A and B are shown apart, each in its own frame.
Chain A
């Protein structure tokens, strides 16, 4: 494709401006409403200049144990991330190195595990967790989030392991390293960016998750997404607090996009785009 001429360039920028306004307005609304005084929340035309207030944030933490819910989310997300990275990268290494014609099927089987509708397995989970006393504990969420995060880690890490030069591993083997040592001292450090990317994906997925957290936790292990939603179910909708909570929840995802957007293609398209 060659460079567009002046007129085409103007047209591209105009269209793109419209697209950006449409796609970024909701995010602007979350951010601005979270610091807007309640009386002007729905004022029309929208107040663009106002003295920001942090009362919604104060209220958020004062009326609910929001800090505890954040901690719950953090425990579930970090726990699942550690668990998934450990098991996922070991499996990915094996899948990357074993030459067998059925290996692709195994990789696809693992990947397909993250595509099943959560709602279809939530009933069995509810019953199993209720019977084992895990209902409303962070451990239940860690286990469940790992079912989605392990396949993702395997998928991402396999790509990174495939790129590690085999010659380095062979050299280490000749020096008398065992397989676990090769993996730990040679291969894994070279695939470190992959670990970082997988970790962030696992974390964001778990942090954002809602259905399982809603159905499998109560007051003890409740996460931030469920807590924010609960400001809606009361008789008067607390829009300020909802927006303040929403803004806190969306921060990790936005940071991720702005810092490592080039990995998003690999992580989200599951190999559709090479």
Chain B
């Protein structure tokens, strides 16, 4: 192999070039362009007119506006809501489907379906369920003595309406990752813990959880990265409303850029979001470089 490697180092680099160049052109370049735009006053009506340099004005505007800060708070609130429920439910369901009983494989497979559905379709089917007056969700909940709730039209429930749709789609992801981690665990510590007379709950809390913790942390970072980008479901369900109750960062960028055509301001907000996502991505990769003996 050393023989192949030495002779072909340059050819390997040539193999890599097309992908790297395409990614540079399609990702890094637009990002730099967004950075450039964020220092300009931009008006789409004057597409080819030289843009005026406005310094940090766009950044000053968004960072001092309560509207922008509000969208950041909503974004992180939604993230906290979806991640916490997905973690608890996902681990819980993973513990069920990893039991050594017949039929568990089928159940696991069926539960993966929501993940592969287009987010727009997820939004639309939940819109159908939430629909004022007609939707089935309030009807189902009435059997449990709950509701009726004005899911997408009330400021109390709109954010939960979005969270529930996201939880429905992505709890299977946490379940799938956790179930895979649970199956990889070696059985010895469990037997030792059982012999010591620990209850199943103690075994889970003291033996299982510490072992799968690194995997859970990585899964949560992946979910956080996705939750930060959430857009499609909100676009379908509430479009940021009622009022600005569900206006997340992505909605803010969209409206500044394509409703008000203030692309400079939209680009500045985009750049703030890029900084936040870079932090999340870095934390995710850090979480992967864990001690291999622990995982």
Chain A residues proximal to chain B, CB less than 8 Å: 1-4, 8-9, 12-13, 15-16, 19-20, 22-24, 26-27, 29-30, 33, 42, 44-46, 86-88, 90-91, 93-95, 97-99, 106, 108, 110, 112-113, 115-128, 130-131, 143-144, 146-147, 150-151, 154, 166, 169-170, 173, 179-180, 182-183, 204, 207-211, 214-215, 225, 228-229, 232, 239, 242-243, 246, 249-250, 253-254, 256-258, 261, 264-265, 268-274
Contact = CB atoms under 8 A, between A and B. Distances in A.
B270 interface: yes
B62 interface: no
Given A46-B136, A169-B4, 10 more contacts: A93-B15, A110-B20, A117-B277, A119-B229, A120-B34, A150-B22, A173-B3, A228-B120, A243-B128, A268-B173
B176 A264 contact: yes
Nearest to B212: A273
B128 A23 contact: no
A123 B37 contact: yes
A117 B5 contact: no
Contacts of A146: 22, 26
Given A19-B96, A44-B139, A170-B3, A110 B119 contact: no
Chain B interface size, as a band, is 35 or more
**Main SS of the interface on chain A?**
helix
Contacts of B54: none
B96 A119 contact: no
A4 B101 contact: yes
B151 to A, nearest CB: 14
B158 interface: no
A225 B120 contact: yes
Contacts of B53: none
A96 B229 CA distance: 30
B45 interface: no
B85 interface: no
Contact of A124 (B12, B30, B281): B30
B19 A154 contact: yes
Interface of B: 1, 3-5, 7-9, 11-13, 15-16, 18-20, 22-23, 26-27, 29-31, 33-34, 37, 47-48, 93, 96-101, 103, 107-122, 124-129, 131, 134-136, 139, 168, 171-173, 176-177, 180-181, 184, 187, 190, 215, 218-219, 222, 225, 228-229, 231-232, 235-236, 250, 253-254, 257-258, 263, 266-267, 270-271, 273-274, 277, 281, 284-285, 287-288, 295
A97 B285 CA distance: 21
A116 B27 contact: yes
Nearest to A120: B270
B31 A121 contact: yes
Contacts of A264: 112, 115, 176
A91 B18 contact: yes
A91 B19 CA distance: 6
Given A3-B100, A229-B124, A268-B176, A119 B250 contact: yes
A7 B33 CA distance: 62
Given A26-B126, A118-B231, A265-B176, A91 B20 contact: yes
B30 A128 contact: yes
Contacts of B100: 1-4
A179 B136 CA distance: 60
B187 A16 contact: no
B214 to A, nearest CB: 8
Nearest to B18: A87
Instruction: Name the 3 nearest CB pairs between A and B, nearest first.
Output: A253-B116, A272-B218, A208-B118
A273 B222 CA distance: 12
A33 B128 contact: yes
A215 to B, nearest CB: 7
Nearest to A4: B99
Nearest to A15: B96
A9 B15 CA distance: 53
Nearest to A9: B101
Considering residues A118, A150, A182, which has the most beta carbons from chain B within 10 angstroms of its beta carbon?
A150
Given A19-B96, A29-B129, A123 B34 contact: yes
B222 A265 contact: no
B4 A170 contact: yes
Contacts of B180: 265, 269, 273
Contact of A1 (B187, B225, B284): B187
A272 B215 contact: yes
Nearest to B217: A272
A225 B288 CA distance: 34
A123 B270 contact: yes
A234 to B, nearest CB: 14
Contacts of A214: 235
Nearest to A105: B285
Contacts of B118: 207-210, 225, 249-250, 253
Contact of A90 (B18, B107, B115, B228): B18
A147 B101 CA distance: 42
Contact of A261 (B16, B109, B271): B109
Contact of B11 (A13, A118, A121, A179): A179
A248 B255 CA distance: 30
B129 A12 contact: no
